Structure 1
Amino acid sequence: MQNATLKFEQLLDENAIYFPTIDNAALEAKNSGKWSKKEILGHLVDSAIHNLVRFTEINYLEKPYHHRPYSQNDLVNLNQYQTMDSNELIPLWLSLNKQIVRVFKGVDEKALDYQIIMNDQSVIDLKFLMTDYVEHLEYHINQIKA
């Protein structure tokens, strides 16, 4: 987990500086049917909210933990990220993810093996979910930077 946490912190540090430099027109530009860069950032906020709950709940709810999906497109639209001021959106993204870093750093080694039942009934563990979160974050950050 240490490598994933270090990568996570590096992504946050680099992009906390980079994101505010992106021109607002570039952030809001939409390609047919796809999310704008601002909406991708909003999706990362939604992902942070839901995963923060998952990363903490698994420690005190009955095991195995059952993964609850969320409607990504509906949340991006309902939260109106496209019209949200970037000066509010970027700090929100950063703050939520800094809290997740704190959770990563404090996770009990035994908890990393806690089982999670996915919707398709496959089973993963907390360690996989946490490392996958960092990969998901990096994937979308690269979309924003493209």
Structure 2
Amino acid sequence: MELLENISSHTLKLLHELEDILKNINENTVLTKRNMQGRTVKQIVGHLVDSASNNTHRVIHLQYQESPLIFPDYANLGVNDKWIAIQNYNNYNWKDLVQLMKYTNIHITNVIKNIDMSKLQNKWISALGNQYTLEEMIIDYPVHFKLHLDEIKELIPK
């Protein structure tokens, strides 16, 4: 239980840090600054929505479906860029997008806190054929979030 609480609280801490940064950002900056993948800040924030949503589904499916689970993998093979393009995050209302990112991530922290501990070794098979346990996935979630938080911090003028 402590593991789940720690992951949830760490993710919430990162989320609050990101929210504070995004509240005060100029909309021109979110549309023009790009990371090494060519994504704007708006697209990175949209990607964080997709990540929270997709991982929420994975976490839930891994608790009641047979393991190992083959579940659609949006993060590999360039599919996450298709998600970003199809949802047209650059034209999304900025304040709404920030709120959507905030609340999808609050939701996944709640889902993580409530994982059945007996399911932590259930496995998911990625599109690349790699197997990951539910525990590995949730441990990686704040690491992935921080990677994008750090990207955004680099793109924002001080």
Equivalence for 1:59: 63
Q: Structure 1 residues 78 and 61, CA, compared in 2 at 3 Å: closer, same or farther?
A: same
- SS for the counterpart of 1:119 is coil
The 8 Å contact of residues 63 and 116 in structure 2, kept in 1 or not, is answered as no
TM-score w.r.t. length of structure 1: 0.91
Q: Which moved more, 1:28-37 or 1:77-86?
A: 28-37
How far the C-alpha of 1:119 sits from its partner, in A, is 2.5
Q: Structure 1 residues 75 and 59, CA, compared in 2 at 3 Å: closer, same or farther?
A: same
- SS for the counterpart of 2:132 is strand
5+ residue gaps, structure 1, are none
Work out whether 1:24 is the aligned partner of 2:60: no
The 8 Å contact of residues 8 and 110 in structure 2, kept in 1 or not, is answered as no
How far the C-alpha of 1:79 sits from its partner, in A, is 0.5
Determine which structure has greater relative contact order: mean sequence separation of CA pairs < 8 Å that are 6+ residues apart, divided by chain length.
Answer: 2
5+ residue gaps, structure 2, are none
Question: Aligned partner of 1:16: which letter?
Answer: E
What whole-Å deviation, never above 9, does each CA across 1:11-70 have from its counterpart, x for those lacking one? 112222221111111111144960111111111111111111101111112222124212
**In 2, distance between residues paired with 1:122 and 1:76?**
24
How far the C-alpha of 1:116 sits from its partner, in A, is 1.7
Equivalence for 1:36: 40
How far the C-alpha of 1:132 sits from its partner, in A, is 1.2
Equivalence for 1:72: 80
The 8 Å contact of residues 9 and 109 in structure 2, kept in 1 or not, is answered as no
Q: Structure 1 residues 109 and 88, CA, compared in 2 at 3 Å: closer, same or farther?
A: same
Question: How many aligned residue pairs are there?
Answer: 146
The 8 Å contact of residues 63 and 119 in structure 2, kept in 1 or not, is answered as yes
Partner residue of 1:81 out of 78, 89, 94: 89
- SS for the counterpart of 1:62 is coil
Percent identity over paired residues: 26
Q: How much is the aligned-residue C-alpha RMSD, in angstroms?
A: 1.6
**In 2, distance between residues paired with 1:140 and 1:20?**
16
Equivalence for 2:18: 15
